[in-house]
Copies of this chain bind each other. A is one copy, B any other.
Amino acid sequence: MSRFAPLPDPPYYAVIFTNQASATPEGYDEMAAKMAELAAEQDGYLGLESTRDVDGLAITVSYWQDEAAIAAWRANVKHAAAQAFGKSNWYAHYVLRVARVERAYDGPDGR
């Protein structure tokens, strides 16, 4: 399975979630997998890209049709619960940005 999200025609939205795992991130992988699963169940979900280095710095970018889809995802009860849990357990620090994708390219062959 490709680790790249599909490339729908812009505009659409990206949630850029950069996070540093805590020193004791037990259950981090299971939480991350569950969050990805919940996102994929939401209407308006377009895809997700995620990577994490050996020092525990992760960037996960999820893509959404519109702001309403992001709001619905955030309102998801299970997601909210996991957020609350995560805030006190998994992350030493995180930044979440919501951005509107204006254009996109892929390669190396171009298009």
Contacts and interface: CB of A to CB of B under 8 A. Distances in A.
Interface residues of A, number: 40
A98 interface: yes
List the number of copies, as a whole number.
Answer: 2
Contacts of A100: 99-100, 102
Interface stretch (A26-34, A35-43, A56-64): A56-64
A98 B54 CA distance: 27
A1 interface: no
A88 B59 contact: no
Given A14-B16, A51-B51, A52-B53, A91 B103 contact: no
B4 A95 contact: yes
B97 A18 contact: no
A95 B51 contact: no
A57 B3 contact: yes
A25 B40 CA distance: 32
Contact of A107 (B16, B54, B93): B93
A49 interface: yes
